[in-house]
């Protein structure tokens, strides 16, 4: 047999020729022995995974087979031969215990999950759940059981009597996250589907005065409190609340709230301008009717109507088109403005036709008509889209 290396060529002596067949037999025998030794261990490991898969299938069934899932999960945890499978079993057990409001046992299962496989994703999620439960363990979990019973039952969370009872019970809860969350649930129910904003404002004040509350929830409660006061047109109260706790509110929102008093004054002033304009125009037309001079007003309106209509259509259409070109734009205010201004223009023309023709009177009418158009624009903008007023500092 010839052999070749990088340094020499030659032949094996007969006594040094390797027994290739014998070496192959030895390797094969070793591999078979290792396979026989490892096979029971693999079989045992697959039992835990099989139990977990069985439990997951039972929970995914319709309806879920909770009892069968619990039995399979406990079997997987008892086998204790596959760390990841055991950690998953303990985690799902804790999840089911939490759904049943068995919070102390859920903590035990979550700790077992971490002990089984500390580096697994199940351990990370179990750690988060332990922190969540511990933060809400006041009163030996009694308040949390009551809160979760209402929160996860739509028929209870939408029942005024239940919400009222939870509000009263929360006053007796120990200070902590559960009392805060219970009051926030009550406040959101009053603000939303139950439509009792006055009760919501009272509850939100309680939330904002909590001592054991996270900053994010406190800021949310403060914002909702100010918004609720504004929605009830309690502008002075909203401004006072915002000024009392400015650190809890966004600076931009705080500025907008402080401007609401100016907006309210402008609203009242614009309403007064519209009322004065309408009153003076009606008085002038009534006097003209008594003096049989309404024909002049009718003729003036007829002559102006086509031009006024075209102008209003142009303003509404062009303005609406420009606004719609912007991503956040809205054409509705311009369309409403056009529809609202046309009657004012025609009424002003009729008044001008029958009113005094003295220069001072005509100048006063012109100024009043101009202010009336701006007052109407303000009223329409505030009704349709108040965000446009922010650009005017209101």
The count of structural domains within the chain is 3
Asked if residue 265 has pLDDT above 90, the reply is no
pLDDT, residue 359, reads 87
Confidence of residue 1 (pLDDT cuts 50, 70, 90): very low
Would you say residue 256 lies in a domain? no
Would you say residue 254 lies in a domain? no
pLDDT, residue 46, reads 60
Q: What is the pLDDT averaged over residues 362-390?
A: 81
In this structure, the answer to whether residues 105 and 178 fall within a common structural domain is no
Confidence of residue 143 (pLDDT cuts 50, 70, 90): very high
In this structure, the answer to whether residues 127 and 160 fall within a common structural domain is no
- 265: containing domain: 261-390
Would you say residue 289 lies in a domain? yes
In this structure, the answer to whether residues 70 and 148 fall within a common structural domain is no
What is the share, in percent, of the chain residues with pLDDT greater than 90? 52
pLDDT, residue 289, reads 84
Q: Per the omega criterion (within 30 degrees of 0), is the bond before 63 cis?
A: yes
In this structure, the answer to whether residues 151 and 239 fall within a common structural domain is yes
Confidence of residue 391 (pLDDT cuts 50, 70, 90): low
Would you say residue 333 lies in a domain? yes
Would you say residue 1 lies in a domain? no
Would you say residue 9 lies in a domain? no
Give the end of a domain, one of 89, 115, 134. Answer: 134
Give the end of a domain, one of 199, 221, 249. Answer: 249
- What residues contact 178, with CB distance under 8 A and at least 6 apart? 136, 138, 139, 143, 144, 147
Would you say residue 40 lies in a domain? no
Asked if residue 321 has pLDDT above 80, the reply is no
pLDDT, residue 344, reads 83
Confidence of residue 145 (pLDDT cuts 50, 70, 90): very high
* Tens-digit pLDDT profile for residues 189-232: 999 989 999 999 999 999 999 989 999 999 999 999 999 999 99
In this structure, the answer to whether residues 239 and 154 fall within a common structural domain is yes
pLDDT, residue 267, reads 87
In this structure, the answer to whether residues 245 and 265 fall within a common structural domain is no
Would you say residue 25 lies in a domain? no
pLDDT, residue 9, reads 46
Residue 231 vs residues 235, 340, 394: alpha-carbon distances, Å: 9, 25, 16
Give the end of a domain, one of 249, 271, 293. Answer: 249
pLDDT, residue 2, reads 43
* Tens-digit pLDDT profile for residues 156-174: 989 999 999 999 999 999 9
Mean pLDDT of the chain: 84
pLDDT, residue 20, reads 46
**What's the pTM?**
0.69
In this structure, the answer to whether residues 163 and 215 fall within a common structural domain is yes
Among the listed residues 62, 58, 63, the one whose alpha carbon sits nearest the alpha carbon of residue 73: 58
In this structure, the answer to whether residues 178 and 118 fall within a common structural domain is no
* Tens-digit pLDDT profile for residues 69-90: 999 999 999 998 899 999 999 9
Asked if residue 387 has pLDDT above 90, the reply is no
Q: What is the 3-state secondary structure (H, E, C) of the chain?
A: CEEECCCCEEECCHHHCCCHHHHHHHHHHHHHHHHHHHHHHHHHHHHHHHHHHHHHHHHHCCCCCHHHHHHHHHHHHHHCCCHHHHHHHHHHHHHHHHHCCCHHHHHHHHHHHHHHCCCCHHHHHHHHHHHHHHCCCHHHHHHHHHHHHHHCCHHHHCCHHHHHHHHHHHCCCCCCHHHHHHHHHHHHHHHCCCCCHHHHHHHHHHHHCCCCCCHHHHHHHHHHHHHHHHHCCCHHHHHHHHHHCHHHCCHHHHHHHHHHHHHHHHHHHHHHHHHHHHHHHHHHHHHHHHCCCHHHHHHHHHHHHHHHHHHHHHHHHHHHHHHHHCCCCCCHHHHHHHHHHHHHHHHHHHHHHHCCCCHHHHHHHHHHHHHHHHHHHHHHHHHHCCHHHHCCCC
In this structure, the answer to whether residues 349 and 289 fall within a common structural domain is yes
* Tens-digit pLDDT profile for residues 114-128: 999 999 999 999 999
pLDDT, residue 240, reads 94
pLDDT, residue 45, reads 47
Task: Write phi, then psi, for 3 (nearest 5 degrees).
Answer: -135, 155
Q: Contact at 8 Å (CB) between 315 and 338?
A: yes
In this structure, the answer to whether residues 265 and 385 fall within a common structural domain is yes
* Tens-digit pLDDT profile for residues 22-70: 544 554 555 554 444 444 444 444 688 999 999 999 999 999 999 999 9
Confidence of residue 10 (pLDDT cuts 50, 70, 90): very low
In this structure, the answer to whether residues 185 and 232 fall within a common structural domain is yes
- What residues contact 66, with CB distance under 8 A and at least 6 apart? 58, 59, 96
In this structure, the answer to whether residues 278 and 385 fall within a common structural domain is yes
């Amino acid at each position: 047999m010839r052999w070749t290396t990088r340094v020499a060529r030659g032949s094996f002596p007969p006594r040094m020729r390797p027994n290739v067949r014998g070496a192959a037999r030895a390797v094969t025998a070793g591999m078979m022995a290792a396979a026989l030794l490892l096979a029971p261990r693999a079989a045992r490991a697959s039992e835990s995974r099989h139990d977990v898969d069985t439990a997951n299938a039972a929970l995914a069934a319709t309806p879920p087979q909770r009892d069968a899932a619990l039995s399979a999960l406990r079997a997987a945890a008892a086998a204790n031969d596959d760390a990841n499978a055991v950690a998953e079993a303990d985690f799902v057990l804790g999840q089911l215990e939490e759904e049943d409001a068995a919070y102390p046992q859920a903590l035990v299962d979550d700790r077992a999950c971490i002990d089984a496989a500390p580096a697994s994703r199940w351990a990370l999620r179990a750690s988060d759940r332990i922190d969540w439960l511990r933060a809400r363990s006041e009163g030996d979990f009694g308040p949390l059981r009551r809160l979760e019973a209402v929160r996860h039952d739509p028929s209870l969370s939408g029942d005024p009597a239940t919400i009222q009872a939870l509000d009263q019970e929360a006053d007796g809860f120990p200070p902590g996250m559960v009392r805060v969350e219970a009051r926030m649930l009550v406040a959101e129910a009053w603000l939303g589907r139950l439509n009792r904003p006055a009760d919501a404002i009272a509850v939100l004040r309680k939330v904002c005065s909590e001592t054991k509350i996270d900053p994010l929830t406190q800021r949310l409660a403060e914002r909702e409190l100010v918004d609720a006061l504004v929605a009830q047109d309690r502008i002075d109260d909203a401004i006072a609340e915002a000024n009392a706790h400015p650190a809890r509110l966004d600076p931009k929102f705080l500025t907008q709230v402080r401007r609401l008093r100016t907006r309210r004054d402008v609203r009242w002033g614009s309403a007064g301008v519209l009322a004065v304009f309408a009153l003076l125009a009606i008085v002038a037309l009534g006097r003209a009717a008594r003096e049989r001079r309404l024909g002049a007003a009718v003729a003036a309106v007829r002559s102006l109507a086509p031009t006024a209509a075209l102008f209003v259509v142009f303003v509404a259409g062009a303005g609406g088109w420009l606004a719609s070109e912007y991503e956040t734009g809205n054409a509705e205010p311009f369309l409403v403005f056009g529809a609202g201004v046309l009657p004012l223009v025609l009424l002003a023309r009729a008044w001008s036709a029958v009113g005094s023709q003295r220069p001072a009177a005509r100048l006063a009418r012109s100024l009043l008509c101009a202010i009336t158009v701006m007052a109407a624009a303000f009223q329409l903008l505030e009704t349709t889209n108040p965000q446009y007023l922010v650009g005017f500092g209101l």
